[in-house]
Amino acid sequence: MKNIFYLLITVFICSAQASDYTYHPSSPMYLSGGFNPYKPTEAYLECIDHDGIKSLDTPSNQNLTITIDTVKSRHDLYSKTDMSASVSGSYGPFSGSASINKLDEITFNENDFNWIIVLKSDMGKYGLKNPRLNNSLSNLPSMQLFSRCGSEIVTQERRGVMLYAFISVHNLSQSERHEMESTIGGGFNNTAFSAAASAKYRSILQFSYAVGTVSIRIQAQGGEGLSKLADIIGGGENNFANYGRLPDIVNDYVKSFNPSNAVPLQYFTTSLNAFKTGLPARFGDFQSALVGQLYEKYLDSLKTIQKVDSLLSPNNTNDINITDNDRKSLETVREVYQGNLEKLYAAGRLCFDDKSNCLLPKINDVRVNWPKGDINKICSNKRDDALVKGYYPLNYYEMARKRDLVPIIGHINNTIGIIGYGECMREF
């Protein structure tokens, strides 16, 4: 099963409770295990005895929520899925790994429209009964105890199931983007995939396929995994018929949710100092929020460099004509953002120093004038696509071609069709 939601929620320190974290596939965290946020991938021996695991919530506290909404930025994506960038920095490049998680591979381009459907089933909290330090460790010197057990102990976890589908609609005109925003409106948030949610989802999905190229990313954590969702993804990335069945499949899928197939979605830790008096304050407060800021800026610089490299590549397939001036400008942009990337990486690594030398460096910001694509080719493709999908007859297609107009797709009496024509130079 592919797990996602690699996120670290902002750390808080109090007398007994140390921090709370969300699941990450690289994390060694488990209930009753040790953890050190400065060394997040290091596994520690079990140091705590307990009298079993108990449910801390009543069944009435367990709930299911479904959300449909637009996603305008990576920060917006984290917010709508209760995520933070912090854990990606912790388990990615800043802690010594070069990996970028799948969520952060998503890019946000000005010609794309992104929306998401998020399913969350919360099965409640579970915790240790009477947790205590193992007697054999009671006389162990402080530094050895920290090295063996970590600085925090996982004493509670929240279990549940999560599923999301992230949909990107590519190559939109200004009118199409506006129509997409109107179609979604204020979004949808409810406790079930009701008839209203199902109708809204299908309307948004149908319009997405009508106006642009669609790519969909689906991930699941807990439940019976993605194997039970094969009907959605089995037809290929752009198979509308399969994705259109998502509401029915999800409604059937959630019936399998139960505590036995729930997984830890969130961990709560207690400071090791709470289990033995007299321990020194071995570690300072981990700067989780700042790690998140650094990582988001790091990703922004990385994505800019990747876009520049794509445009400057001899194998450029973006249908964009790069002039000599464009090339010089893009090379300057790349140099600036490469410098930013190196500064942010160095600053991020310092956050994992025990001295907590974690600071946000000053970075350079330059305005990027991205070369535009071949507008004539974009408009031609839009006209051809509308003809293939049957939105207008051949004589209207010929009229649009001769006048260099692009058809504007919209809703007409709850059906999708051409609501007008725009000038190519103004639309793109």
| pLDDT tens sequence across 13-42 | 233 446 888 777 778 899 999 999 888 888
User: Higher confidence at residue 197 or residue 159?
Assistant: 159
**Spatial CA neighbour of 209 closest among 248, 231, 182, 239:** 239
**Spatial CA neighbour of 36 closest among 357, 356, 359, 361:** 356
Q: Is 397 helix (H, G, I), strand (E, B) or coil?
A: helix
Q: How sure is the predictor about 59, in pLDDT bands with cuts at 50, 70 and 90?
A: low
Average the pLDDT over each of 65-74, 91-100, 350-359, 415-424 and give the range with the smallest value: 91-100
Pick the most confident of 20-34, 117-131, 211-225.
117-131
Q: How sure is the predictor about 411, in pLDDT bands with cuts at 50, 70 and 90?
A: confident
> What pTM, to 2 d.p., does this model score?
0.79
What are the residues facing 279 on neighbouring strands? none
pLDDT of 243: 66
| 233 has a pLDDT exceeding 60 | no
Q: Which letter does DSSP use for residue 14 in this model?
A: -
Q: What share of the chain has pLDDT > 90, as a percent? A: 31
Considering the chain, what is the average pLDDT of its residues?
82
The mean pLDDT value for 193-200 works out to 76
**Spatial CA neighbour of 379 closest among 411, 401, 402, 410:** 401
| 129 has a pLDDT exceeding 90 | yes
pLDDT of 107: 81
Q: How far is CA 243 from CA 113, 147, 184, 189, 209, in A?
A: 17, 49, 17, 20, 11
